[in-house]
Amino acid sequence: MANLRAGLIGLGMMGRNHARVLGSLDGVDLVAVADPGGDKFGVAGGREVLAGIDELIAVGVDYCMVAVPTAYHLLVGTALAEAGVHALIEKPLAENLETAEQLAKEFDSRGVLGGVGHIERYNPALQSARSRIEAGDLGEVFQVVTRRQGPFPGRIADVGVVMDLGTHDIDLTAWVTQQAYTSVSARTAHRSGREHEDLVAVVGQLSKGTVTNHLVNWLSPLKERTTVITGEKGTFVADTLTADLTYYANGQVETTWSDISRFRGVSEGDIVRYAIAKPEPLRVEHENFRDAVLGKDADIVTLQQGLETVRVAQACIESAAESRTVFLDATP
């Protein structure tokens, strides 16, 4: 069977990583790359750098990785859908709900496969956490707390921290717990003189009662990517920078020290850092989308799932702007 012919549009910071993976992916030939700004990172690997999406489509590709700025997702995605070219689109799906709905419709109405690059779903720590939660290792999930902070990335100009970084946490929380958001209450700040927010704090609730808290900013010299999931049997702490998953179990040993035993909460139990395989999340993401294009069983983030993440993110922005809690319909 011939290899799939893949294209890539957008040769910026993420585009160079996609080029590296696509250029070495089994069963795939990266045959064309495009960026109207040229190849400033030198990732084309000897391939001609085309001017735009029309030229890339004309080469003849089975599917395309879209790594252009979010503001151009609709334009590029629509061209691919109209040409019948499957597409994996970097997150977020679009810069607002209206555009995300339109983009999803472009693909769905034509029966063309689309996916969204929510890469945290493929992080080994979160993959392991989800499977263990599904197996009942935590029992009922009470709370999910995420912290995602670091320095401002000068390459992001078209969306704020909610759509760019916050969508990671919205998507992974819904996915890990297998619950939908039913409400969000958010506060944002503008500290760097840009049009869009660069700090957000969100309190949310999920469809089975789990409470969530997300702290996200572009203002910290400390880079942190932490997810803390607390349930009736203990707590998982996932560090997605190192792909480590640690389990803090509730204590099973009776406390005889009276001063401590008066506190009727849980006590400390065993602490386990799981030994888990750590494949590169970006490669796993591409392997799954390749398999989906081939019609095989695959775990991709669908356009509908990407759309729901944008819906929640926009609700966070509206909540902050209007100083109120925004309620959402819980979709499966």
Q: Please, are residues 259 and 276 in contact by the beta-carbon 8 Å criterion?
A: no
Model pTM score:
0.94
- In 97-195, at which residue ranges do the beta strands (DSSP E only) sit? 114-117, 141-149, 181-189
Distance, CA of 200 to CA of 89 (rounded, Å): 24
Inter-CA distances, 86 with 82, 190, 268, 291, Å: 10, 37, 50, 12
Instruction: Give per-residue pLDDT as tens, 213-259.
Output: 999 999 999 999 999 999 999 999 999 999 999 999 998 766 666 66
Instruction: Give per-residue pLDDT as tens, 246-294.
Output: 999 998 766 666 665 555 567 788 999 999 999 999 999 999 999 999 9
CA distance between the termini of the chain? 37
CA atoms within 13 A on the CB side of 47: 25
Phi-psi region of 299 (alpha: psi -120 to 50; beta: other; left: phi over 0): beta
**Domain annotation for the chain: domains and CATH numbers:** 4-120+283-300 (3.40.50.720), 121-278+310-327 (3.30.360.10)
Distance, CA of 62 to CA of 141 (rounded, Å): 41
Dihedral (C-alpha) 18, 19, 22, 24: value to the nearest 10 degrees? -120
Across residues 176-205, what is the average pLDDT?
A: 95
Please give the DSSP secondary-structure letter assigned to residue 162.
I
**297 burial level (CB within 10 Å; 0-12, 13-18, 19+):** exposed
